[in-house]
């Protein structure tokens, strides 16, 4: 039987422990160098609070749904058909493409598209959506603006203090 070296086992443990300590120290140093990432802050895009109804098609109708778009925006292409369905005798629908009506985007400080707004005859914006709303949410927000209490989710499209 070959003699066992008790020192060899201890040496292996010491080497493994030293490697572990080096790895932990290296990880701590890398983490310190990286620093703490700042928390992600949601961007709050400005939504116009008031529109001049004469700037838009259908100024004679009591309600306006305007959607600010761009020809280079994929989600705009999906929002416009949802908005167009809302047109009726009492709801005017107006698409405001950036390429053709840049002055309107500037006048109302629209910095993000698609931006959909629902305004009354007085031009006060009652609901808005930044991005692509579902058809159900959009239609419910218009119904709620037209007849408060008619939607099971009356807060859809609310401005949430963005004014």
Beta strand ranges found along 25-107 (DSSP E): 63-69, 91-97
C-alpha neighbours within 13 Å on the C-beta side of residue 101: 18
Residue 16 CB neighbour total at 10 angstroms: 10
47-51, 100-104, 149-153: least confidently modelled range: 149-153
Secondary structure element (H or E) that encloses residue 127, with its range: strand 125-130
Say which CATH topology domain 53-146 has. Answer: Glutaredoxin (3.40.30)
Calculate ∠ Cα 53-90-93, nearest 5°: 55
Using a pLDDT cut of 70, give the percent of the chain over it.
81
Domain residue ranges of the chain, discontinuous segments joined by + = 53-146
Q: How confident is the model at residue 160 (pLDDT cuts 50, 70, 90)?
A: very low
């Amino acid at each position: 039987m070959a003699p066992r070296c008790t020192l060899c086992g201890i040496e292996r443990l010491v080497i493994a422990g030293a490697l572990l300590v080096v790895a932990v120290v290296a990880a701590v140093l890398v983490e310190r160098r990286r620093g703490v990432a700042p928390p992600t802050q949601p961007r709050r895009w400005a939504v116009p609070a008031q529109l001049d109804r004469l700037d838009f098609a259908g100024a004679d109708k009591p309600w306006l749904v305007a959607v600010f778009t761009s020809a280079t925006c994929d989600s705009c292409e999906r929002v416009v058909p949802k908005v167009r369905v809302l047109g009726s005798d009492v709801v005017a629908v107006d698409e405001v493409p950036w390429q053709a009506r840049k002055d309107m985007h500037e006048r109302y400080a629209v910095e993000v598209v698609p931006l959909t707004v629902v305004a009354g005859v007085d031009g006060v914006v009652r609901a808005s959506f930044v991005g692509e709303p579902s058809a159900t949410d959009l239609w419910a927000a218009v119904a709620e603006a037209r007849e408060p209490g008619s939607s099971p989710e009356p807060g859809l499209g609310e401005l949430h203090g963005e004014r």
